[in-house]
Amino acid sequence: MQYWHLAAQALACAGWAPGADGVHCSYAGYHPRADGRHRRTAGGPWATTDRIERALAVHIAKRVGQFPGYPLANIPRRKRELIAAGVDVIDVGAGDPVEPPPALASQALEEALRDPAMSKYGFQLGLPAFREAVVRYHQRRFGTAFDPMTEVLPLIGSKEGLAHFALATTNPGDVVIVPEPGYQCYIGGAIASGAEARIAPLRPEANFLVELGELPASVLRRISLVYLNYPNNPTAAVAPRDYLERTVAVCREYGIALAYDNPYVEITFDGYRAPSIFEIEGAREVAVEFHSCSKSFTVTGWRLGWAIGNRELIAALTTVKSYHDTGPFLAVQKAGAVLLDHAEQVVKEAVARFSARRDAAAAALAAAGFEVEVPRATLYLWVPLPEGLKSADFQRMALEEEGVVVMAGSGFGASGEGFFRVALTVGEDRLAEAAERMGRVLARA
Ligand SMILES: Cc1ncc(COP(=O)(O)O)c(C=O)c1O
C-alpha cells in the first residue's frame, strides 16, 4: 500500500505542494537519487506508475526561478488576441522594424539557398567569407584591423553570444556587472554562469553611464565581466570617448572582461558617430565587441551577428558555443557578407528612415503631453512618466485601452521604473497616431 501513498505524494509534488525553495519537490520518504534524478517507483498498474514517473522525474533547476520575467514574454500572445478581436494595434514595443530586408540581401540569400553546400553544418568556423567581410567592415568603418580566423566569431544573433560570454569568462561566485535598465540577456548570462549579478543602475543624472571607478577595489577584484552597451537600449544614451577610456583602463587594471554590446553603432543621427570600443587604446587586451545585423540591416529574424576582439576571449567563447550550437545558417552568413560589403549604402537608407521617425515621434509625443529627449542614436525614445504612474500600468493601459504596444521601463529591470520605451519601428503616421493614443492614456491616468 506504500505505492498509493507515493502516488498521492507524486500528485502533490506535481504542482500543488512545491518544496521549501519553491522549485524542488522534497518530502519525507521519497528522495532524489544521488545522480539528481528521482528514484523509479516499482510495481503497480502501469497507468498509475506512469503518472508517478512523470510527476516525479522532472527536475527544474533552481536557476530557472532566478530569471526575472522576460519583458516581451506575454506581449505577442496578447497582441494576437487583440488583433483577432478587431483592434487596430500599433506595435512600437520590440525593436523590430516593419521594413523588409534590403533587396540585395534577400537576393544573396536566395542564391545561397541554391548551393547545397550552404545547407550543411557551419560549426563555429562558419563561412570564412563572412569572417573576412566582418574584418573588411571594421577596417573601413573604424580603422581597426583583425584576424578573421582568431579574432572573429559568427553568432546566431548577438544575443546568444552575449549570454554565452558569461559562461566563457565567469566562475560561480564571481561578480558580473549588469547595467539596468538593460538588455535582459546580460542578467540571463550572469545567472546561468552562477555569478553574483551586481546591478549598475543607469541614472539620467549620471548620463546613464556605469562608472566602474566608483566601485571599491574589493569589489573590482571580484568582477570577472562587465556588460556595457552604448548607444544604449533602452535609454538611447551614448558614451563619450573619455568615459570609454577610463572604463577600459579600469578593466585592464583589474583584469575584467569587457563585453561591449554595440548593435546600434550604425544608427546615429545629427552628425554623431558612435565608436567601436577598439578605437580606445588597450581595449584589445580586455574586450570583445558584439555586433548585430538585426537592426542596421532589418534582418532581425535571420539571426546573424558576430563577436570580435581579444583572441583568448574569442577562443573561450568559441569553446563554450561549440557545446551549445553549430553556428548561424551558412546561407545567412553568405547573405550577411554581401550586406556587410554594402553596409554604408544600406545603413544610410535605414538611418534616414529612423531619423524622420524620431523627429515625428518626438514631436507627436510632446504634443500629447510627454517630456521627450530627442536621442542622438538607436531606434528608441526613452520617455519619462509623471510621478506615481507605474510603467507596467501605463504599458497595460496603452495596450488594453488604446491598442498600442510599448515597453514598460520596469521590464528592463527595476531601475527602469518611471519610463517607457517607444521603438521607431513603424512609419511616421503610425507613430503620430500611437502618440495621440498614449496621450489619451496619460490624460486618464
Ligand atoms: C542592446 C541589445 N543588444 C543585443 C541585441 C540582440 O540583437 P540580435 O540578437 O538580434 O543580434 C539587442 C536586440 O534588441 C539589443 O537591444
Q: Indicate if ligand 1 lies below 6 Å from the C-beta of 233.
A: yes
- Owner of C-alpha cell 583589474: 254
The burial class, CB within 10 Å (0-12 / 13-18 / 19+), for 36 is: exposed
Sheet (strand 257-261) strand order: 152-155, 305-309, 287-292, 257-261, 223-228, 175-180, 196-201
* pLDDT given for residue 73 in this prediction: 74
Q: Indicate if ligand 1 lies below 6 Å from the C-beta of 247.
A: no
* pLDDT given for residue 13 in this prediction: 34
Pocket probe mutation, ligand 1, options 75, 227, 233, 291, max atoms within 8 Å of Cβ: 233
- Higher confidence at residue 1 or residue 47? 47
Cα–Cα distances in angstroms (integers) from residue 329 to residues 160, 291, 334, in the given order:
14, 17, 9
* pLDDT given for residue 41 in this prediction: 41
Of 335, 425, 438, 312, the residue nearest 383 (C-alpha): 438
Please, what is the average pLDDT of the chain?
89
* pLDDT given for residue 36 in this prediction: 38
159 CA → ligand 1 middle, Å:
6
* pLDDT given for residue 266 in this prediction: 98
* pLDDT given for residue 74 in this prediction: 81
Q: Tell me the pLDDT tens digit for each residue of 120-164.
A: 999 999 999 999 999 999 999 999 999 999 999 999 999 999 999
* pLDDT given for residue 54 in this prediction: 56
34 CA → ligand 1 middle, Å:
40
User: In whole angstroms, what is the distance from residue 24 CA to residue 50 CA?
Assistant: 20
The two most distant CA atoms of the chain are separated, in Å, by 79
271 CA → ligand 1 middle, Å:
23
Q: Indicate if ligand 1 lies below 6 Å from the C-beta of 263.
A: yes
Q: Tell me the pLDDT tens digit for each residue of 45-98.
A: 444 445 555 556 789 999 999 998 776 778 889 999 999 999 999 999 999 999
* pLDDT given for residue 71 in this prediction: 67
Q: In sequence order, what E strands does 229-302 have?
A: 257-261, 287-292
Q: Indicate if ligand 1 lies below 6 Å from the C-beta of 328.
A: no
* pLDDT given for residue 445 in this prediction: 87
Q: Indicate if ligand 1 lies below 6 Å from the C-beta of 232.
A: no
Q: Indicate if ligand 1 lies below 6 Å from the C-beta of 262.
A: no
In this prediction, residues 217-233 reach a mean pLDDT of 98
264 CA → ligand 1 middle, Å:
9
3-state secondary structure of 342: coil
265 CA → ligand 1 middle, Å:
12
- Higher confidence at residue 19 or residue 235? 235
DSSP state, residue 120: S
Q: Indicate if ligand 1 lies below 6 Å from the C-beta of 229.
A: yes
Q: Tell me the pLDDT tens digit for each residue of 382-411.
A: 999 999 999 999 999 999 999 999 999 999
378 CA → ligand 1 middle, Å:
11
Q: Indicate if ligand 1 lies below 6 Å from the C-beta of 292.
A: yes
* Amino acid letter, 216: P
* pLDDT given for residue 70 in this prediction: 73
DSSP letters along 372-432, please?
Answer: -PPPSBSSEEEEEPPTT--HHHHHHHHHHHH-EE-EEGGGG-GGGTTEEEEE--S-HHHHH
From the alpha carbon of 294, which atom of ligand 1 is closest?
10
Atom 6 (ligand 1) nearest CA: 159
Helix (H) or strand (E) holding 280: none
- Higher confidence at residue 215 or residue 53? 215
Number of residues written out for the chain: 445
Pick the range with the lowest mean pLDDT from 73-87, 101-115, 315-329, 357-371. 73-87
* pLDDT given for residue 24 in this prediction: 33
Percent of the chain residues topping a pLDDT of 70: 87
The burial class, CB within 10 Å (0-12 / 13-18 / 19+), for 117 is: exposed
* pLDDT given for residue 57 in this prediction: 74
> How many other CB atoms sit within 10 Å of the CB of residue 361?
26
Q: Secondary structure of the chain: what % helix, strand, coil (to 5)?
A: 45, 15, 40
Those residues whose C-beta lies under 8 Å from the C-beta of residue 422, and which sit 6 or more positions away, are 92, 361, 365, 380, 381, 383, 406, 431, 434
**pTM score, two decimals?**
0.87
DSSP state, residue 221: T
Percent of the chain residues topping a pLDDT of 90: 84
306 CA → ligand 1 middle, Å:
11
Q: Tell me the pLDDT tens digit for each residue of 279-303.
A: 999 999 999 999 999 999 999 999 9
155 CA → ligand 1 middle, Å:
12
Q: Indicate if ligand 1 lies below 6 Å from the C-beta of 159.
A: yes
pLDDT at 2 over 60: no
Q: Tell me the pLDDT tens digit for each residue of 179-209.
A: 999 999 999 999 999 999 999 999 999 999 9
* pLDDT given for residue 195 in this prediction: 97
Q: Indicate if ligand 1 lies below 6 Å from the C-beta of 95.
A: yes
pLDDT at 29 over 50: no
308 CA → ligand 1 middle, Å:
15
